[in-house]
Amino acid sequence: MWAVIHRVVIGFSVGAVPGFAQDAPAQVPAEEDTERRSASYERLEAPVPSPEELKKGTEASRAKLEEQGVYLDLEGGFVAVRGATFHDRESLGYPIEYLIVTEYGRTHEAVFLIRARPQVLNNCLLAIGLEPGQGMRFEKIDPAPDSPAKPWVTHPASGPVVDLQVQWIDERGQSQAM
The percent of residues in the chain predicted with pLDDT above 90, rounded, is 21
Express each pLDDT in 35-90 by its tens digit.
555 555 566 677 899 999 999 999 999 999 998 899 999 998 889 998 887 665 66
Give domain status of residue 147, yes or no: no
- On whether residue 152 sits in a domain, the answer given is no
Residue 102 inside a domain? The answer is yes
Residues 175, 178: Cα–Cα separation, whole Å? 11
Would residue 81 count as lying in a domain?
A: yes
Confidence at residue 175, expressed as pLDDT on a 0 to 100 scale: 83
Its pTM stands at 0.70
142 falls within a domain: no
Specify the number of domains making up the chain. Answer: 1
Q: Assess if residue 150 is contained within a domain.
A: no
Residue 1 lies in a domain: no
Domain interval for residue 59? 6-133+161-177
Q: Is residue 29 part of a domain?
A: yes
Radius of gyration of the chain (CA): 19
Alpha helix ranges (H) inside the chain: 33-45, 51-56, 59-68, 118-127
Helix (H/G/I), strand (E/B), else coil: 155: strand
In this predicted structure, what is the pLDDT of residue 120?
A: 93
